Amino acid sequence: MFIKNKIKKIAFCNYFKNPDIVFLFLFLCISLMILCFFRDFNKSSDKGKHYFDNSHNAPSDYPHFVKDGILDYNISGYFPGHNTFIKMYFYFTYQSNLFVLIIYALFFTKVRQKKWYQYLIFMCLISILMTGFIYHIIIDKFKHFTKFDWELKYIISHLQHTIIPLTYLYFYFFVNTFAIPYKKIWVGYLHALFYMVILSSIAYLKMIPYYSEFKLDQPIITNKDDVKRDPFRLFPYVFFSPFCDDPTKELPKKSHRFVFKGYAPVFKLFFILFCFISLMMYFLLWSKKKMVFRKTKKL
């Protein structure tokens, strides 16, 4: 009995294997960040902006008002400080990919023997998988899988939303050999929850001065002065906002006409995401525990 418990203790403490694989994954993440930096640095320089300039209230950052509430984003870009450092913390995609890089880097330190590191691994798993699922299903609508392009932005996007999530999934199941308890499964919500609540709350507070002016199914921007209400200035993703593209208008690429829909669709989407994430977390943890049990049983 003593020997059996000793073997289990050794198996429990030896959380990881295959450091060469993790180093390869870490190198991939670092390469991705370098690619993103050089692409954004060059584009920001071409537009006469400094990469580390995080101010996004200058007139040059606003989209061009065309007419009838239509905004043209071909010059300014879709989010504050387009192609500057601000997107590293404004977009969940960049946060989750940076999170993965940190997890891989910590793997080569003594931190990997800490229990809290295991919870970070699981939290990061949910974040990076959400990044892939939400982008491909909600934002891109599977276009990346039906059309291939060798442009740098396409390659970076596939790395962020497809390759990195898949490699991290491999890391979780085949390198990490520890599964957190079911009663701690809630840690998987933390990153996404804080991100959605904090950024949505900040955006809502910014809208308070003119929120009462919005009318259901009516355009939110009617003149040049209203351009400051641009949803991409306020929300990292438009589906977080009470606005949506006008379905009655067919517009050119990177042109949008936003109408007010209220927060009911947002809460509905959040509820669907909550249910999906909950099922995904339980399935992933159940699968991992099953793998750990089989390996422990063989010992």
Q: What is the mean pLDDT of residues 98-126?
A: 94
pLDDT tens digit string along 201-210? 988 998 999 9
pLDDT digits (tens, 9 = 90+) for 66-92: 788 888 887 767 666 667 777 777 889
pLDDT in tens, 210-244: 999 999 999 998 888 888 888 888 888 888 899 99
Cβ contact 175:17 at 8 Å: yes
pLDDT number for residue 276: 92
Sheet with 255-260, strands from edge to edge, namely: 64-65, 70-72, 255-260, 243-245
Closest CA to 92 of 243, 229, 198: 198
Predicted local distance difference test score (pLDDT) of residue 130:
95
pLDDT tens readout for residues 144-189:
778 777 888 889 999 999 999 999 999 999 998 889 999 999 999 9
The DSSP 8-state label assigned to residue 241 in this structure reads S
Specify the pLDDT at position 10.
Answer: 42
For residue 138, the surrounding DSSP H or E stretch is none
Q: What is the mean pLDDT of residues 44-62?
A: 69
18: pLDDT strictly greater than 80: no
Mean pLDDT of 258-270: 92
Distance in angstroms (rounded) separating the CA atoms of residues 70 and 220:
10
Query: The whole model's pTM is what?
Result: 0.86
What pLDDT is attached to residue 54?
64
Compute how many other C-beta atoms are within 10 angstroms of the C-beta atom of residue 74: 11
The confidence score (pLDDT) of residue 59 equals: 55
In the chain, the number of structural domains is 1
Residue 17 has pLDDT above 70, yes or no: no
- What value does the mean pLDDT of the chain take? 85
Determine the pLDDT at residue 231: 87
Which pLDDT belongs to residue 299? 58
How confident is the model at residue 174, as a pLDDT? 92
Nearest to 191 by CA among 102, 258, 272, 291: 102
Give the model's pLDDT for residue 11: 44
The parent domain of residue 18 ranges over 3-297
pLDDT band of 14, cuts 50, 70, 90: very low
Q: Which pLDDT score is estimated for 55?
A: 61
- pLDDT (0 to 100) of residue 12: 44
